[in-house]
Amino acid sequence: MAHQLKVTASNIIGLWFGADTPLRQYKIQSNPVLWDACLRAHIGFVPPSGATSLDQYRKSDKNAFALAVERELAQSAPNALHRQV
Tens-place pLDDT, residues 10-59? 999 999 999 999 999 999 999 999 999 999 999 999 999 999 998 999 99
> How is the chain split into domains, by residue range?
9-83
Residue 52 CB-half CA count within 13 A: 0
Q: For 45-81, how does the pLDDT look when each residue is reduced to its tens digit (9 = 90+)?
A: 999 999 999 899 999 999 999 999 999 999 986 665 5
Long-range contact pairs involving 42-47 (C-beta distance under 8 Å, separation at least 24): 42/16
pLDDT of res. 24: 95
Distance CA 79, CA 17 (A): 25
pLDDT of res. 85: 44
Residue 84 has pLDDT above 90, yes or no: no
Other residues' Cβ atoms within 10 Å of the Cβ of residue 49? 13
